[in-house]
Amino acid sequence: GESVGLHLPTLSVQEGDNSIINCAYSNSASDYFIWYKQESGKGPQFIIDIRSNMDKRQGQRVTVLLNKTVKHLSLQIAATQPGDSAVYFCAENIGRGTSYGKLTFGQGTILTVHP
Amino acid sequence: NAGVTQTPKFQVLKTGQSMTLQCAQDMNHEYMSWYRQDPGMGLRLIHYSVGAGITDQGEVPNGYNVSRSTTEDFPLRLLSAAPSQTSVYFCASRRGDYGYTFGSGTRLTVV
């Protein structure tokens, strides 16, 4: 996707609220999607993934929704906690052929959770 | 398992110098990749490998070389450092159909 420079989208929530982070992916051929969490000074940390044959997948406090028609992903975090504050990235992958090893990242969303 | 280990954690280079960023994984993962992350941006793929002896270019390969002589190691070489290569570099590995595991990054400054 295109870079939009230094101004990442931001989401501010109160502790205990539910958070929804959205992502538009770029390639209609992508068939594997991942959400990563990145805390300051650290590498991305895997949260949850989903394949294109599913439209919803749930983990512990997190749910990923996939809408292939409009090429849209969302990450829902239930009962958001201050420790959830981070930058969240979606990533897409084409799981076949020469593109198998490639993961393309979105620009990221800054989530801030206020106590 | 140590996971994905990157060294060094920090490095300052002068323009024109060369260096190698090291990446090692002990999980017997087939796939390994190098990404760079510039301030306020997502990660961009530099090079990747689908197995020992096999590498391919990503989105921003210019100025970087890689090799994959073993499953465990995937070093990234900067041939002649430029200020535009100032960035945080992440190495990642992946097993089969699962998501990548990332290292903690190397912060590189080129002056």
Mind listing the pLDDT tens digit for each residue in B2-48? 799 999 999 999 999 999 999 999 999 999 999 999 987 789 999 99
| Distances from the Cα of A106 to the Cα of A16, A92, B20, B76, B93, angstroms | 26, 8, 27, 23, 19
CA gyration radius, chain A: 14
Give the whole-angstrom CA distance, residue B12 versus residue B15. Answer: 10
Confidence check: pLDDT of B109 > 50: yes
Q: Specify the 3-state DSSP secondary structure of A84.
A: helix
Which of A6, A36, A45 is closest, CB to CB, to B39?
A6
pLDDT tens digit string along A35-87?
Answer: 999 999 899 999 999 999 999 999 999 999 999 999 999 999 999 999 999 99
- The per-residue pLDDT for A107 is 85
Give the whole-angstrom CA distance, residue A23 versus residue B33. Answer: 23
More confident residue, B95 or B82: B82
Percent of chain B with pLDDT over 70: 98
End-to-end CA distance of chain B: 36
The edge-to-edge listing of strands for the beta sheet with A72-77 is A19-24, A72-77, A62-67, A56-58
Give the whole-angstrom CA distance, residue A47 versus residue A60. Answer: 9
CB A108 within 8 A of CB A8: yes
Residues of A in contact with B39 (CB under 8 A): 6
Q: What does the pLDDT average to over B85-99?
A: 89
- Interface check B93 vs A, CB under 8 A: no
Q: Is the peptide bond before A115 cis (omega within 30 degrees of 0)?
A: no
Q: What does the pLDDT average to over A20-25?
A: 94
Q: What does the pLDDT average to over A89-100?
A: 77
Percent of chain B with pLDDT over 90: 85
In a mutational test of the B interface, the residue from A42, A102, A110 whose CB has the highest number of chain B CBs within 10 Å is: A102
Q: Quick one: DSSP state of residue B26?
A: S
- CB atoms inside a 10 Å sphere around CB A41: 10
Going by pLDDT thresholds of 50, 70 and 90, the confidence category of residue A5 is very low
Give the whole-angstrom CA distance, residue A45 versus residue A42. Answer: 8
More confident residue, A45 or B96: A45
- The per-residue pLDDT for A98 is 59
Tokens of B17: 């110098």
Residues of B in contact with A107 (CB under 8 A): 41-42
Q: Considering only A4-13, A75-84, B45-54, which range has the smallest mean pLDDT? A: A4-13
Asked if A107's CB is within 8 angstroms of B42's CB, the reply is yes
- The per-residue pLDDT for A4 is 35
More confident residue, B101 or A98: B101
Chain Cα centroid distance, residue B110: 16
- Interface check B94 vs A, CB under 8 A: yes
Q: Specify the 3-state DSSP secondary structure of A71.
A: coil
- The per-residue pLDDT for B99 is 78
